[in-house]
């Protein structure tokens, strides 16, 4: 039985490692300026964890294979040095890895979540609701109209609760079901939720951010490729959670300006 | 460790009183019993009912995910409103998922390894006659049982169980039925059930702590305490603190739902086209309260497993655990650190991003004691003389799956990587490996090891080994692929995968479903073994495993007062003196007279 | 000569009367018809972006416009429910089921009118799950998911009410159920026209209801000739 156990562990370890290395299921190509840092962190962690994973499983399998009771009267053996090598080894090796990953990782994290957005970033107001995302651009006047929750009326597509009758800044706001942005230009999203918690996730951008009811949360990024990507919700929000998505279209600057013109209310 | 050998065993008057008032009749002996051994078995039976229910729910969920267009026979009868034509609706999927998580985390993983085995074994292992507060003990079980019934009742209300997950984030869980199906009565029943569960656990934890501190037999110093008892003791301290936070959190959530308060609900929310009449609350407050409980909770689920493995592995390695003091120190370090890391569930929640770094550091540091204990186990296997009983196999399997689960946690502990992996199947793979597999292997090891002591009969070893092999292969087939799904950005808690970029994951989901159904079927072998052996298993001797701790020095099952009128013998040996010459062979019982052991 | 002419005159008059009678047969009595139009500026209806549901989006070669205000040539206003609110001698509730379709992520018809107690059947013809949620305040409120291939929902409403209907999964999907006591009702088409039939002669009050522009009433007498009643609603741009 011990040998069977050891064999299973070895097979499982080698097959799993092979699949990881093959990248058969892997992150999509990165399309953001700050994604490079995340990918580097992921690779470094994958390598160090992978080595640790393979070694510990294979050593466990080897020991189990070797040290079964065979009725040969062989005495038990204590691991050389006792527990001390375990403590020292774990503390030094794991400690060093943690230190490196934390130092580098906190810079990556800070770059995304603690850095100031570009003052000329394109600002988009994002609302998450059961079960769609809506995006609002400030329009020609460059100002967002005020949103009034009591005026929200999905039936007439007034998702944001704007009051164009009385609020002139709201009249030229562009509301879109897709996030359309220009390539290579910083974008600043302001996230708010209409009803319950939601989340914004674009795997290729490598960013994710929860929408928290009652808060307006900023997240900024710069997309580096012309592409169309799915934005999906990753915070359980009700029965339609699986179907809550929007598309992000990254397009050349000129095409984006044209799109804004077309969307502007006549 | 301070020598507390002066602590007396149960006062002698107590013993006589118990004998005079011994319970009579079926109800007093088997149902409303004060005997910790009966209560432990009751907890285990409750966990068994919960795990069977939870597992069936997972089959239904996995079947729907693997084969979304196939009608499930019989589902329409079970859920006529939510599965017309046998096709699972999205809300039914989410409510099954909520109940699955709730049943497994609370009623299986907090109950079986801790309240179940702990109640039966701890007093025996320390040489006590019973728990310190037998009435509290009985109450704790029955409160937990009522909590279970209240939870199950959610299946039978018109709109069904809640769909907000076992984490019940506000405002989805707080605003009531406008949030979706099941969010009315179903969610209220859930909150009440969990609040009751907290009460049961608090009563139980008080008992474990008082018993371990006060009722150890003479000579049972802390340095001679068996590792499983250490783990139960530390877990009880953790549970006392953690459940003390969850209970008021549930009360606040209940008030938001029924009394119009707004602890967790801000102003201006519009759900079901209605402006919600609340203002001033914070959804993040719920997350902080929940995860302040929730993270220690997952260590409450695994720590008894650490203790059980460290208890059982030496028995079948025929050598002592490597580094016993280091092991205990690591348990304490993990328990302490577990209270400092809760924010790693909330990196992207909208809390101050600086706190992400603050929470990430202790989360990574916990890796160090976790690595040390794993190395201690592997170091114990080195030079051993392994006996491959089923219990031993599950111990060895535990080491393998804990390594896997722990390593995937290493990714999630870093905020920069969690930015990508949060909310994906990578997380699902991680927590299932540590909780759904490792903690379960701890329960299996404990079951195969202590069943003879509990029921006086042996579980069938051939069925046990078959169960082990199929389960070990099965769990790797189910949960390892989930890491690949997560790397591909496959989002969790989805009832269907309709996004374009997830279509490449569908074959892997079908593979996981088939593996899950096969592995589930393999568990039937275990259930059959449990039931058949209770009545038809071969009779068990007092010490079938040649183990040293006190429970093995009494009959199988033990007499009602555990050690007889005289109480437990004084102890002068450690809990894992194996590989030394002794009267029975290569071991010396803890209860043996104080002769120096000859190597 | 004059006597012949005098004799033929009554015959001519009688023939003429008979002809007129044939040209306007008795069945036209008992009908009210008319047009609904608007004054003022209605809001511009925006095209609905169904990008989040590609299987529906591709069913609309030109994007569907929001249907809360449907207008036609000559300021015609569609989707107005016109019904007898007083003077009705009643009649048996229709037993023919009213069919409500979810197709291309649109509710068809946008406004479904039905009698109290009349069967209502809701079909999902799309490749996606819908969760129809009629926001009833007087009748019981419920919502129900229909995955693709699910059987139709069969239900009925016991009390008269105008019920807003939304889809819990697709925020742009909105419609109405108009549950009415009277069996005499109609919905104006995009050209604004409507006809109520089968009305015995008498005095009636008609109510016209529009989901954004409110209600108006008008008294109409049905006699031997077909009656007409036009409604003019005040439109506002926001």
What pLDDT, on the 0 to 100 scale, is given for residue A39?
96
pLDDT score of C27 more than 50:
no
B245: preceding bond cis by omega (within 30 degrees): no
For the record, the structure tokens of C71 come out as 């207008």
What pLDDT, on the 0 to 100 scale, is given for residue B20?
54
Q: Are residues A180 and A98 in the same domain?
A: no
| Nearest C-alpha in A relative to B496 | A242
d(CA B352, CA B364): 19
Q: Are residues A39 and A137 in the same domain?
A: no
d(CA C126, CA C137): 28
Q: Is residue A77 part of a domain?
A: no
Q: Is residue A103 part of a domain?
A: yes
For residue A130, give the CATH number of its domain. Answer: 2.60.40.420
pLDDT score of C5 more than 90:
no
Q: Which of A238, A240, A243, A245 to mutate to test the interface with B (most CBs of B within 10 A)?
A: A238
What pLDDT, on the 0 to 100 scale, is given for residue C223?
86
Q: Are residues A148 and A189 in the same domain?
A: yes
Q: Are residues A98 and A144 in the same domain?
A: no
Q: Which of A133, A233, A240, A266 to mutate to test the interface with C (most CBs of C within 10 A)?
A: A240
Q: Are residues A142 and A35 in the same domain?
A: no
φ and ψ at residue A128, rounded to 5 degrees: -110, 135
**Contact yes or no for B262/B279 (Cβ under 8 A):** yes
Query: B251-279 pLDDT, tens per residue?
Result: 999 999 999 999 999 999 999 999 999 99
For the record, the structure tokens of A4 come out as 């069977």
d(CA B40, CA B163): 32
Contacts of B261 (CB under 8 A, 6+ apart): B252, B255, B281
**Contact yes or no for B143/B234 (Cβ under 8 A):** no
Other CB atoms within a 10 A radius of the CB of residue B397 amount to 26
| Nearest C-alpha in C relative to A249 | C51
Residue B84 has its nearest CB partner, among C135, C148, C150, at C150
Q: Quick one: pLDDT band at residue B73, thresholds 50, 70, 90?
A: confident
CA quadruple A201, A203, A206, A211: dihedral, nearest 10: 0
| Nearest C-alpha in C relative to B91 | C145
Q: Quick one: pLDDT band at residue C14, thresholds 50, 70, 90?
A: low
φ and ψ at residue A178, rounded to 5 degrees: -120, 150
Burial call A222-250: b when 16+ CB within 10 Å, e when fewer: bbbeebebbbbbbbbbbbbbbbbbbbbbb
Chain A residues with CB-CB distance to C166 below 8 A: 154-155
Give the residue, B78 or A105, on which the prediction is more confident.
A105
- Find the length of chain C: 238
Q: Would you call A131 an interface residue with chain B, using a CB distance cutoff of 8 Å?
A: no
Query: A5-28 pLDDT, tens per residue?
Result: 999 999 999 999 999 999 999 999
Other CB atoms within a 10 A radius of the CB of residue A66 amount to 15
φ and ψ at residue B370, rounded to 5 degrees: -65, -40
Give me the number of domains chain A comprises: 2
Mean pLDDT of chain A: 94
Residue B386 has its nearest CB partner, among A26, A69, A229, at A69
| pLDDT, average across residues B487-493 | 97
**Contact yes or no for B356/B342 (Cβ under 8 A):** no
Chain center to CA of C108: 12
Q: How buried is A51 (Cβ within 10 angstroms: 0-12 exposed, 13-18 middle, 19+ buried)?
A: exposed
| pLDDT, average across residues C211-226 | 91
SS3 B430: helix
Mean pLDDT of chain C: 88
Chain C residues with CB-CB distance to B496 below 8 A: 129
| pLDDT, average across residues B104-109 | 98
Q: Which of B346, B369, B416 to mutate to test the interface with A (most CBs of A within 10 A)?
A: B416
d(CA C12, CA B196): 97
C109: preceding bond cis by omega (within 30 degrees): yes
- Residues from A contacting C (CB-CB < 8 Å) are 129-133, 154-157, 159, 163-165, 176-178, 238-240, 243-247, 265-266
For the record, the structure tokens of C155 come out as 């239900």
What pLDDT, on the 0 to 100 scale, is given for residue B77?
87
Q: Quick one: pLDDT band at residue C21, thresholds 50, 70, 90?
A: very low
Chains touching C, CB cut-off 8 Å, 3+ pairs = A, B
Please say whether the dihedral angle defined by the alpha carbons of residues B491, B493, B497 and B500, taken in this order, is positive or negative: negative
pLDDT score of C8 more than 90:
no
Q: Quick one: pLDDT band at residue C1, thresholds 50, 70, 90?
A: very low
What pLDDT, on the 0 to 100 scale, is given for residue C24?
43
Query: A186-225 pLDDT, tens per residue?
Result: 999 999 999 999 999 999 999 999 999 999 999 999 999 9
d(CA B236, CA C212): 62
Query: C183-206 pLDDT, tens per residue?
Result: 999 999 999 999 998 888 889 999
pLDDT score of B1 more than 80:
no
Q: Is residue A75 part of a domain?
A: no
Chain center to CA of C172: 21
Q: Are residues A140 and A209 in the same domain?
A: yes
| Nearest C-alpha in C relative to B274 | C135
d(CA B370, CA B365): 9
CATH topology of domain B36-267+277-587: Cytochrome C Oxidase; Chain A (1.20.210)
Minimal Cα–Cα distance from C172 to chain B, Å?
12
The ranges assigned to domains in chain C are: 2-234
Q: Quick one: pLDDT band at residue A71, thresholds 50, 70, 90?
A: confident
| pLDDT, average across residues B168-182 | 95
What pLDDT, on the 0 to 100 scale, is given for residue C87?
87
Complex-level ipTM: 0.96
Q: Quick one: pLDDT band at residue A95, thresholds 50, 70, 90?
A: very high
Q: Are residues A150 and A256 in the same domain?
A: yes
Q: If phi over 0 gives left and psi between -120 and 50 gives alpha, with beta otherwise, what is residue B510? A: alpha
Q: Quick one: pLDDT band at residue C13, thresholds 50, 70, 90?
A: low
Q: Are residues A64 and A149 in the same domain?
A: no
What pLDDT, on the 0 to 100 scale, is given for residue B330?
97
Q: Which of C58, C122, C145, C172 to mutate to test the interface with B (most CBs of B within 10 A)?
A: C145
A128: containing domain: 122-263
**Contact yes or no for B284/B342 (Cβ under 8 A):** no
pLDDT score of C139 more than 90:
yes
What pLDDT, on the 0 to 100 scale, is given for residue C23?
44
Residue C147 has its nearest CB partner, among B87, B273, B500, at B87
| First-to-last C-alpha distance (Å) of chain A | 78
φ and ψ at residue B175, rounded to 5 degrees: -85, -5
Minimal Cα–Cα distance from B85 to chain C, Å?
6
Q: Are residues A108 and A140 in the same domain?
A: no
Q: Per DSSP, what are the bridge partners of residue A247?
A: A230
Degrees, nearest 5: CA angle C179-C182-C185: 80
What pLDDT, on the 0 to 100 scale, is given for residue A264?
87
What pLDDT, on the 0 to 100 scale, is given for residue B555?
95
Q: Which of B178, B498, B499, B501 to mutate to test the interface with C (most CBs of C within 10 A)?
A: B498
Please give, one letter per residue, the 3-state secondary structure of chain C.
CHHHHHHHHHHHHHHHHHHHHHHCCHHHCCCEEEEEEEEECCCCCCECCCCCCHHHHCCCCCCCECCCCCEEHHHEECCCEEEEEECCCCCCCCCCCEEEEEECCEEECCEEEEECCCCEEEEECCCCCEEEEEECCCCCCCCEEECCCCCCEEECCCCCEEEEEEECCCCCCEEEEEEECCCCEEECCCCCEEEECCCCCEEEEEEEEECCCEEEEEEEEECCCCEECCEEEEECCC
Contacts of A140 (CB under 8 A, 6+ apart): A172, A264
| Nearest C-alpha in B relative to A93 | B368
Q: Are residues A36 and A158 in the same domain?
A: no
Query: A27-59 pLDDT, tens per residue?
Result: 999 999 999 999 999 999 999 999 999 999 999
CB contact under 8 A, B90 and C129: yes
Minimal Cα–Cα distance from C75 to chain B, Å?
30
d(CA B168, CA B181): 14
Q: Would you call C144 an interface residue with chain B, using a CB distance cutoff of 8 Å?
A: yes
CA-nearest of B530, B528, B591, B519 to B116 is B530
Q: Is residue A209 part of a domain?
A: yes
Going from the C-alpha of C68 to that of each of B470, C44, C64, C72, C176, the distances in angstroms are: 60, 10, 12, 13, 10
pLDDT score of B151 more than 50:
yes
What pLDDT, on the 0 to 100 scale, is given for residue C29?
57
Q: How buried is C216 (Cβ within 10 angstroms: 0-12 exposed, 13-18 middle, 19+ buried)?
A: middle
Please give, one letter per residue, the 3-state secondary structure of B407-421.
HHHHHHCCHHHHHHH
Query: B188-238 pLDDT, tens per residue?
Result: 999 999 999 999 999 999 999 999 999 999 999 999 999 999 999 999 999
Query: C40-86 pLDDT, tens per residue?
Result: 999 988 899 999 999 999 999 999 999 999 999 999 999 999 999 99
Q: Is residue A76 part of a domain?
A: no
SS3 A22: helix
Minimal Cα–Cα distance from A64 to chain B, Å?
7
Mean pLDDT of chain B: 94
Q: Is residue A74 part of a domain?
A: no
CB contact under 8 A, B350 and A212: yes
**Contact yes or no for A239/B180 (Cβ under 8 A):** yes
pLDDT score of B560 more than 70:
yes
SS3 B29: helix
d(CA B315, CA A10): 25
φ and ψ at residue B495, rounded to 5 degrees: -85, -10
CB contact under 8 A, A266 and C68: no
CA-nearest of B301, B408, B431, B290 to B349 is B290
φ and ψ at residue B212, rounded to 5 degrees: -65, -35
CA-nearest of B126, B448, B111, B112 to B312 is B448
Residue A105 has its nearest CB partner, among B404, B407, B415, at B415
Give the residue, A266 or B469, on which the prediction is more confident.
B469
pLDDT score of B582 more than 50:
yes
Please give, one letter per residue, the 3-state secondary structure of B195-210.
HHHHHHHHHHHHHHHH
Residue B489 has its nearest CB partner, among A28, A45, A236, at A28
Q: Quick one: pLDDT band at residue B53, thresholds 50, 70, 90?
A: very high
| Nearest C-alpha in B relative to C153 | B84
Q: Quick one: pLDDT band at residue A116, thresholds 50, 70, 90?
A: very high
pTM for the full model?
A: 0.93
For the record, the structure tokens of B452 come out as 């003879």
Minimal Cα–Cα distance from A162 to chain C, Å?
10
Say how many CB pairs under 8 Å bridge A and C. Answer: 65
Minimal Cα–Cα distance from B494 to chain A, Å?
5
Q: Are residues A28 and A104 in the same domain?
A: yes
CB contact under 8 A, C169 and A240: yes
d(CA A221, CA A113): 10
Q: Which CATH superfamily is domain C2-234 in?
A: Cupredoxins -  blue copper proteins (2.60.40.420)
CB contact under 8 A, B385 and A45: no
d(CA B294, CA B287): 9
Minimal Cα–Cα distance from A78 to chain B, Å?
6
Look-up: residue for tokens 């108009």? C178
CB contact under 8 A, B283 and A60: no
The ranges assigned to domains in chain B are: 36-267+277-587
Q: Are residues A240 and A176 in the same domain?
A: yes
């Amino acid at each position: 039985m011990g040998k069977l156990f050891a064999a299973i562990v070895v097979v499982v370890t080698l097959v799993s490692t092979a699949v990881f290395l093959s990248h058969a299921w892997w992150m999509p190509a990165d399309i953001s300026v700050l994604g490079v840092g995340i990918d580097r962190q992921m690779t470094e962690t994958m390598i160090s964890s992978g080595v640790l994973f393979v070694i510990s499983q294979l050593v466990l399998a080897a020991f189990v294979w070797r040290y079964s009771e065979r009725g040969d009267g062989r005495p038990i053996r204590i691991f050389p040095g006792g527990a001390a090598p375990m403590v020292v080894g774990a503390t030094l090796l794991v400690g060093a890895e943690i230190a490196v990953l934390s130092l580098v990782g906190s810079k990556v994290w800070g770059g995304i979540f603690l850095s100031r957005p570009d003052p000329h970033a394109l600002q988009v107001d994002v609302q998450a609701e059961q079960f769609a995302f809506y995006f609002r651009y400030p329009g020609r006047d460059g100002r967002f109209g005020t949103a009034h929750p009591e005026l929200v009326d999905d039936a007439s597509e007034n998702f944001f609760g704007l009051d164009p009758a009385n609020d002139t800044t709201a009249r030229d706001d562009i509301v879109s079901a897709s996030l359309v942005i220009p390539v290579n230009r910083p974008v600043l999203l302001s996230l708010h939720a209409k009803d319950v918690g939601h989340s914004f996730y674009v795997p290729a951008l490598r960013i994710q951010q929860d929408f928290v009811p009652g808060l307006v949360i900023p997240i900024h990024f710069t997309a580096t490729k012309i592409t169309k990507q799915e934005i999906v919700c990753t915070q359980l929000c009700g029965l339609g959670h699986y179907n809550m998505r929007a598309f992000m279209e990254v397009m050349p600057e000129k095409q984006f300006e044209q799109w804004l013109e077309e969307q502007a209310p006549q | 460790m301070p020598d507390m050998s002066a602590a007396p065993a149960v006062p002698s008057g107590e013993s006589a009183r118990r004998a005079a008032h011994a319970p009579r009749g079926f109800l007093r002996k088997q149902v409303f019993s004060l005997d910790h051994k009966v209560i432990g078995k009751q907890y285990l039976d409750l966990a068994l009912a919960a795990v069977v229910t939870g597992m069936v729910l997972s089959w239904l969920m996995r079947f729907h995910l693997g084969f979304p267009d196939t009608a499930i026979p019989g589902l329409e009868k079970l859920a006529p409103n939510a599965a017309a034509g046998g096709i699972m609706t999205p809300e039914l999927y989410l409510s099954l998922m909520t109940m699955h998580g709730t049943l497994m985390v609370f009623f299986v993983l907090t109950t079986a390894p801790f309240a179940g085995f702990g109640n039966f074994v701890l007093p025996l292992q320390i040489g006590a006659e019973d728990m310190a507060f037998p009435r509290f003990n009985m109450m704790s079980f029955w409160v937990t049982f009522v909590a279970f019934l209240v939870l199950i009742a959610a299946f039978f209300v018109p709109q069904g169980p809640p769909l907000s997950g076992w984490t019940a984030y506000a405002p989805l869980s707080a605003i009531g039925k406008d949030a979706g199906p099941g969010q009315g009565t179903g969610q209220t029943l859930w909150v009440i059930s969990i609040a009751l569960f907290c009460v049961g656990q608090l009563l139980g934890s008080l008992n474990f702590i008082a018993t371990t501190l006060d009722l150890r037999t003479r000579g049972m110093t802390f340095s001679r305490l068996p590792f499983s008892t250490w783990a139960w003791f530390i877990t009880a301290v953790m549970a006392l603190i953690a459940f003390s936070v969850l209970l008021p959190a549930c009360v606040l959530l209940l008030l938001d739902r029924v009394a119009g308060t707004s602890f967790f609900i801000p102003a201006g929310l519009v759900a079901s086209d209605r402006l919600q009449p609340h203002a001033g609350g914070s959804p993040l407050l719920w997350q902080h309260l929940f995860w302040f409980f929730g993270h220690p909770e997952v260590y409450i689920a695994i720590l008894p497993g650490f203790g059980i493995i460290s208890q059982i592995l030496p028995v079948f390695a025929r050598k002592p655990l490597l580094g016993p003091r280091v092991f205990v120190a690591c348990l304490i370090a993990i328990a302490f650190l577990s209270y400092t890391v809760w924010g790693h569930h909330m990196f992207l929640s909208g809390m101050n991003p600086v706190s992400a770094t603050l929470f990430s550091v202790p989360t990574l540091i916990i890796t160090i004691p976790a690595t040390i204990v794993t190395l201690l186990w592997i170091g114990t296997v080195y030079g051993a003389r392994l006996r491959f009983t089923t219990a031993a196999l599950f111990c060895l399997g535990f080491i393998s799956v804990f390594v896997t689960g722990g390593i995937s946690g290493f990714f999630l502990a870093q905020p920069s990587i969690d930015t990508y992996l949060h909310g994906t199947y990578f997380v699902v793979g991680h927590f299932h490996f540590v909780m759904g597999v490792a903690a379960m292997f701890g329960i299996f090891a404990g079951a195969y090891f202590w069943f003879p002591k509990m029921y006086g009969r042996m579980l069938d070893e051939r069925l046990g080994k078959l169960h082990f092999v199929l389960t070990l292969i099965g769990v790797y087939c189910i949960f390892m692929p989930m890491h690949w799904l997560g790397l591909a950005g496959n989002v969790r808690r989805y009832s269907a995968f309709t996004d374009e970029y997830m279509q490449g994951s569908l074959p892997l989901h079908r593979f996981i479903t088939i593996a899950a159904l096969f592995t589930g079927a393999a568990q039937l072998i275990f259930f059959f073994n449990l039931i058949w052996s209770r009545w038809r298993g071969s009779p068990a001797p007092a010490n079938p495993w040649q183990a040293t701790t006190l429970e093995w020095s009494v009959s199988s099952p033990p007499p009602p007062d555990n050690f007889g009128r005289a109480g437990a013998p004084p102890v002068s040996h450690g809990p894992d003196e194996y590989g030394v010459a002794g009267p029975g062979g290569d071991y010396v019982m803890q209860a043996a007279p104080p002769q120096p052991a000859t190597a | 000569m004059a006597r012949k002419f005098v004799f033929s005159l009554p015959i001519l008059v009688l023939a003429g009367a008979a002809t007129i009678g044939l040209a306007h047969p008795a069945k036209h009595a008992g009908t009210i018809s008319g047009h609904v139009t608007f004054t003022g500026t209605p809001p511009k209806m925006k095209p609905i972006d169904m990008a989040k549901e590609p299987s529906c989006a591709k069913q609309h070669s030109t994007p569907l416009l929001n249907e809360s205000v449907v207008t036609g040539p000559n300021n015609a206003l569609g989707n107005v429910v016109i019904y007898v609110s007083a003077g009705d001698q009643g009649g048996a509730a229709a037993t023919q089921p009213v069919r409500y379709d979810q197709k291309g992520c649109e509710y068809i018809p946008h406004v479904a009118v039905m009698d109290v107690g009349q069967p209502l059947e809701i079909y999902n013809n799309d490749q996606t799950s819908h969760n129809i949620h009629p926001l009833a305040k007087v009748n019981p409120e419920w919502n129900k998911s229909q995955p693709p291939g699910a059987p139709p929902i069969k239900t009925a409403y016991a009390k008269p009410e105008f019920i807003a209907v939304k889809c819990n999964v697709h925020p742009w999907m909105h419609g109405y159920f108009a549950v009415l006591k009277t069996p005499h009702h109609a919905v104006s088409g995009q050209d604004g026209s409507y006809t109520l039939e089968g009305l015995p002669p008498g005095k009636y009050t008609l109510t016209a209801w529009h989901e954004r522009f409110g209600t108006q009433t008008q008294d109409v007498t049905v006699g031997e000739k077909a009656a007409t009643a036009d409604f003019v609603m005040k439109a506002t741009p926001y």
